[in-house]
Amino acid sequence: MSALRESLGFLASRLRQVGIFVALILIVLLFQVLTDGILLQPQNVTNLVVQNSYILILAIGMVMVIIAGHIDLSVGSIAGFIGAVAGVMIVHWGWAWWVAIPACLLVGALVGAWQGYWIAYVGIPAFIVTLAGMLIFRGLTLITLKNQQITPFPDELRALGGGFLPDISGGTSVLEWLTVILGVGGTAALLFQAIKERRIRRRFNLENEPMAWFATKTAFIALLMLAITFLLASYRGTPIVLIVLAGLVIAYSALMNNSIFGRHTYAIGGNLHAAELSGIKTKAVTFRLFVNMGVLAALAGLIFTARLNSAQPAGGTGFELDSIAAAFIGGAAVQGGIGTVAGAMIGGLIMGVLNNGMSILGLGTDYQQLIKGLVLLLAVGFDIFNKNRAGGGSSVAKRFKLKTTPPATEQTTSEAQPKPAERAQTPAEPAPPVAAGSRPSGDA
């Protein structure tokens, strides 16, 4: 009973982090029922991963920018622009795909450096710079494509957006065994890493999760990974873009959690002035964040273009809104300093499941936009509620002057004030002497 009470108390203190994961599970179960089981069909799960891969990649860079206290409104236009550049390089100029991909990533880095310079070293707010970038690179996309599509692309590039790992069983097995091996291996690695981190925290007497909650959470995540592995292996195996996405999530999670650059990013978002006083090169960190965002936007643009097998003038439209929503739904704070890569992935999956489930139900884009907007508003409102709860009071309570302090504090405060009798017994200070020939100031 004490273990259960301890676990519930821990969950209450971590309501913000746990809430988004629970919300994802509830949304999946809801649409699984509403779609009569279509949502979790193997083919639909595969489509869900492929269709949302570029949004999830953008969400990785976006949450890092938001953690530092900035925003990037240009990522959708950059993704569309890089798709146009890839079309010109590969289709018109005849470049090999393995040359065009690094070249496009380099162009994305240059675009990020352009915006990062204005933000970090000139001092223009990121909102203004990236808003201008959204217009600039949308215009460059139209100029590059001359308002026409460019197609087709080679099969090797198309595999990046919609290809699968080879089937080692030759198609003779019910399950694709390479996917099974990767899924089981990834689950085992996750369990090993979770146990290792718990032992390290215990060794250094750091705050740790209750054992009951740790065991429940780890077992649930392991079962979830195995279930996804089974669903993917039942269709065509592992999408190549899933391998790319998994590698990015692992690399950037390690970067934000275990590197100096990650700690500096959190410090800048938490308190910029304090970070500067502590010797952090805030301008350099901000510049690198936007260079990184440009590279990830370029990668997302390549994947989107490869999946469609076409570079389109409207490519990337609205990507910035979905990636920003994924970061905020995933727990990033509006003012910066808070957020995780894993949380952004969960937020992106929530948006993806909503899009996919509503499309299966036949809802129009008008209702889809309405529902996604409400979900974003509720997610940020839930974040504000948790902050007010942790702070001991809300703006509503302060507005109406409601008492949010415990009675003991009020009593202590009142006891600290001298009583009337005590004030009367306090000797008064002697009055200053009055010079001869002068009158006191109180005389008429």
109 with 252, same domain?
yes
> Of 206-220, 221-235, 277-291, 385-399, which one has max mean pLDDT?
277-291
pLDDT in tens, 99-129: 999 999 999 999 999 999 999 999 999 999 9
Mean pLDDT of 135-157: 95
Residue 168 lies in a domain: yes
Q: Which of 159-173, 217-231, 379-393 has the lowest mean pLDDT?
A: 379-393
So what's the pLDDT on residue 391?
A: 63
Q: Which of 88-102, 264-278, 403-417 has the lowest mean pLDDT?
A: 403-417
Beta bridge partner(s), residue 311: 150
313 with 276, same domain?
yes
Q: Which of 94-108, 347-361, 392-406 has the lowest mean pLDDT?
A: 392-406
So what's the pLDDT on residue 376?
A: 87
389 has pLDDT over 90: no
Residue 425 lies in a domain: no
CB under 8 Å to 276, separation ≥6 — which residues? 282
Mean pLDDT of 249-271: 95
272 has pLDDT over 80: yes
So what's the pLDDT on residue 280?
A: 95
So what's the pLDDT on residue 1?
A: 60
- Nearest in space to 289 (alpha carbons), one of 271, 268, 316, 320: 268
Mean pLDDT of 272-278: 94
So what's the pLDDT on residue 211?
A: 84
319 with 345, same domain?
yes
In 3-state terms, what secondary structure has residue 311?
strand
Q: Which residue has the tokens 């200070």?
A: 429
Cis preceding-peptide flag for 420 (omega within 30 of 0): no
Of residues 422 and 350, more confidently modeled? 350
pLDDT in tens, 196-222: 988 988 888 877 778 887 888 889 889
C-alpha–C-alpha distance, residues 61 and 296, integer Å: 7
Report residue 13's pLDDT band, with 50, 70 and 90 as the boundaries. low
So what's the pLDDT on residue 444?
A: 35
Of residues 412 and 51, more confidently modeled? 51
So what's the pLDDT on residue 150?
A: 95
274 with 319, same domain?
yes
Q: How many domains does the chain have?
A: 2
Q: What are all long-range contacts of 223-229, with beta carbons under 8 Å and residues at least 24 apart?
A: 225/183, 225/186, 225/187, 225/190, 226/183, 226/184, 226/187, 228/45, 228/183, 229/179, 229/180, 229/182, 229/183, 229/184, 229/187
Q: What predicted TM-score, i.e. pTM, was given to this entire model? A: 0.85
272 with 359, same domain?
yes
Report residue 135's pLDDT band, with 50, 70 and 90 as the boundaries. very high
90 has pLDDT over 80: yes
Residue 80 identity (one-letter amino acid): G
271 with 382, same domain?
yes
Residue 399 lies in a domain: no
So what's the pLDDT on residue 3?
A: 65
338 with 256, same domain?
yes
Residue 418 lies in a domain: no
Residue 231 lies in a domain: yes
Report residue 411's pLDDT band, with 50, 70 and 90 as the boundaries. very low
End residue of a domain, out of 238, 272, 293: 238
Residue 401 lies in a domain: no
Query: Domain limits at 221?
Result: 164-238
Residue 430 lies in a domain: no
Report residue 409's pLDDT band, with 50, 70 and 90 as the boundaries. very low
287 with 366, same domain?
yes
Read off the tokens for 126: 């990121």
End residue of a domain, out of 368, 387, 406: 387
Report the mean per-residue pLDDT for the chain: 86
Residue 314 lies in a domain: yes
So what's the pLDDT on residue 390?
A: 65
26 with 112, same domain?
yes
145 with 35, same domain?
yes
C-alpha–C-alpha distance, residues 405 and 412, integer Å: 11
pLDDT in tens, 298-317: 999 999 999 999 999 999 99
So what's the pLDDT on residue 392?
A: 53
C-alpha–C-alpha distance, residues 304 and 317, integer Å: 11
Report residue 434's pLDDT band, with 50, 70 and 90 as the boundaries. very low
Distances (CA, A) of 322 to 60, 326, 424: 12, 6, 68
Report residue 28's pLDDT band, with 50, 70 and 90 as the boundaries. very high
193 has pLDDT over 80: yes
286 with 271, same domain?
yes
End residue of a domain, out of 215, 238, 261: 238
381 has pLDDT over 70: yes
Report residue 286's pLDDT band, with 50, 70 and 90 as the boundaries. very high
C-alpha–C-alpha distance, residues 132 and 139, integer Å: 11
pLDDT in tens, 44-72: 999 999 999 999 999 999 999 999 999 99
Alpha-helical (H) ranges within 88-175 are: 97-117, 126-145, 155-162
311 in Cβ contact with 83 (< 8 Å): yes
C-alpha–C-alpha distance, residues 62 and 70, integer Å: 9
410 has pLDDT over 90: no
C-alpha–C-alpha distance, residues 5 and 159, integer Å: 50
53 with 103, same domain?
yes
